[in-house]
Structure 1
Amino acid sequence: MQSEQFSGPIAHPKHLRAYEEILPGAAERIMTMAENQQNHNTDMEKKIVAAQISDQKRGMRYGLVALTLVICLAAYAGMNGNNTLAGMLVGAGVAGVVGAFVKGRYDTSA
């Protein structure tokens, strides 16, 4: 009993030669197919990374807007004599920002 194994994106060279003998031009077509697949995979990886970066930037912008809104509401509440509400808003905003920085720094799931 004889067993043979080969792993890779294209056929083993001796099999490629056999394909070429059976169907002239087949080896070139197989190589082109492997190159096209590799180019497709590379393009998809680039698009995925670009989308992840875009999502992170969008999240940062929304977070900045939300934090600015909380600070403005806290300032408004403080100017109108509601110091308790102002303190709670600032405390929640600071806790959220610190939590986001800590999670972002130590989060390995991304």
Structure 2
Amino acid sequence: MSKNRKVDNKSAIKKTSQDIPEELQEIEEDLTNYNPEIFKGVPQKKKVEILHSLSVVSIQHRSHSGPLPDPETLIKYNSVIPNGADRIMKMAENQQAHRISIENRVVASQSAQSKLGQVFGLIIGLVGIGCGTFLAATGEPTIGGIIAGGTVVSLVSVFVIGKSAQRKSLEE
């Protein structure tokens, strides 16, 4: 007499899991959930060996973002290199001080360049308007008006374009 019995996959796993140490059962469940036929045809002894080797092999992936390592890594540096964590902190502090000094020099340079540009613009404007006025007073009003007017229009357009570019740069 043969009886047809439906074997539940999970109950079969539980029956064979009794021979597997408790700490390895979670690994087996994860693998079996991932691929139910992964241990199909594998003898129980070999299955325990595979699970044990998987529990021994520990794969870790760490990700860190920032200028300094995480505290655990700093502690490890300290154990390998005398005062390693302190040296790394000093290096980060020196780098930050260096960056700040460069930024200060850049800002000061840009400010000086801007002032110099304004001074030269004033000189060019005064010379252009002065020459145009001189020419208009000496009997050449058309040429004097073109030179003086052209100077004023040029300086105003450079100022407006410069402010527009500066505003765009600040937005970026």
**What's the TM-score once normalised by structure 2's chain length?**
0.60
Partner secondary structure for residue 9 of structure 1: coil
- Listed as ranges, the matches of 1:22-101 within 5 Å are 22-101=80-159
1 CA distance for matches of 2:103 and 2:134? 47
Partner secondary structure for residue 105 of structure 2: helix
Bigger relative contact order, structure 1 or 2 (CA pairs below 8 A, ≥6 apart) = 1
TM-align CA RMSD: 1.4
Number of residue-to-residue matches in the alignment: 110
2 CA distance for matches of 1:19 and 1:106? 50
Unaligned runs of 5+ in 2: 1-58
1 CA distance for matches of 2:118 and 2:157? 14
Moved runs in structure 1, 4+ residues, more than 6 A? none
1 CA distance for matches of 2:104 and 2:77? 34
1 CA distance for matches of 2:148 and 2:129? 6
Identity among equivalent pairs (%)? 35
Unaligned runs of 5+ in 1: none
1 CA distance for matches of 2:83 and 2:119? 54
What letter is aligned with 1:22?
V
Shift of residue 103, structure 1, vs aligned partner: 1.3
Q: Contact between 2:133 and 2:145, CA under 8 Å: does it hold in 1? A: no
